[in-house]
Amino acid sequence: MSFRDKLLAGEVLIGTFVKTPSPHVVEILGLAGLDFAVIDQEHAPIGLAEMDMMAMAGRAVGLPLLSRRWGKGTDWIAPLMDLGMTGVMVPHVLDPEGAEAVCDAVRFARLKRGLSPSPRAGDYGGMSIPSYREKSDAESVVMVQIEDECALAHLDAIAAIKDVDLVFIGPADLSQSMGVGFPSPELDDAIMTIVEACKHAGCAVGLFVGDAAAIPAWVERGVGVFVCGSDQALLRKGAAGIMAAR
């Protein structure tokens, strides 16, 4: 069962951000049993060459990897999908036009993504073009992030797009855009507005949390996918715990 199958089936899935450009980190997180990880090219210095090695490590341990990176365009998506990434998480999607552009960059069936089975994702030419197209479209994951107050007016239209697999809530940026605290009742209300819109559209919804203890309460509210902290936060917390025991 692919990661996308699990997501669409409504399973509770937990991952983390990876901010360190190291395949070893990806390997360790996979061996730890995480459901997925998001390589955070938006807030960490991780280039295409590092992504190549990290994608290889993810495939070796069966850890689905998505990429998140900066930029208003979508030309960065196809090279990462060619590396064998499971999908993308695109920040600051403001409207349905932006979401449609992301879907165009991921799904071959939309007839706009460049096609070649020669990279890793096509088993280096081992897959036929029809098989490659079918497998990629069936398993690739499109996550769009809602992080801006102006995007709240377009929730229904974004969540209704068939090729959007998940709407992911970025609470820190959303609170900043709204001019409210993180956390705050106003932010929680906005999050629930997004959750309800996704429920109505039958679209999965995800959320960043800094602490795994927050997950059960959000599951009860309808959130099914979580990115919890990051590899660096896990390392820092573990090291701080060692020193606290001195």
Q: Which of 163, 50, 39 is nearest to 102 (CA)?
A: 163
Q: What local confidence, expressed as pLDDT, does residue 147 receive?
A: 98
Rounded Cα distance between 235 and 125, Å, is: 39
pLDDT band, very low/low/confident/very high, at 71 (cuts 50, 70, 90): confident
Q: What local confidence, expressed as pLDDT, does residue 169 receive?
A: 98
pLDDT band, very low/low/confident/very high, at 70 (cuts 50, 70, 90): confident
pLDDT digits (tens, 9 = 90+) for 28-63: 999 999 999 999 999 999 999 999 999 999 999 999
pLDDT digits (tens, 9 = 90+) for 213-231: 999 999 999 999 999 999 9
DSSP the chain: --HHHHHHTT--EEEEEE-S--HHHHHHHHHTT-SEEEEE-SSS---HHHHHHHHHHHHHHT--EEEE---SSSTTHHHHHHTT--EEEES---SHHHHHHHHHHH-GGGT-S---S-SGGGGGGTS-HHHHHHHHHHH-EEEEEE-SGGGGGGHHHHHT-TT--EEEE-HHHHHHHHT--SS-HHHHHHHHHHHHHHHHHT-EEEEEESSGGGHHHHHHHT--EEEEEEHHHHHHHHHHHHHHT-
pLDDT digits (tens, 9 = 90+) for 4-37: 999 999 999 999 999 999 999 999 999 999 999 9
pLDDT digits (tens, 9 = 90+) for 162-171: 999 999 999 9
Domains and CATH numbers, the chain: 3-244 (3.20.20.60)
pLDDT digits (tens, 9 = 90+) for 181-225: 999 999 999 999 999 999 999 999 999 999 999 999 999 999 999
Does position 72 have pLDDT exceeding 90, yes or no?
no
Q: Taking residues 78-99, what's their average pLDDT?
A: 98
pTM over 0.75: yes
Q: Taking residues 149-165, what's their average pLDDT?
A: 98
pLDDT band, very low/low/confident/very high, at 158 (cuts 50, 70, 90): very high
What residues are paired with 36 via a beta bridge? 15
pLDDT, averaged across the chain = 97
Q: Taking residues 233-243, what's their average pLDDT?
A: 97
Q: What local confidence, expressed as pLDDT, does residue 119 receive?
A: 98
Q: What local confidence, expressed as pLDDT, does residue 246 receive?
A: 87
Among 71-75, 98-102, 128-132, 206-210, the minimum mean pLDDT is found in 71-75
pLDDT above 70 covers a percentage of the chain that reads: 100
For CA atoms 92, 8, 212, 179, the dihedral sign is: positive
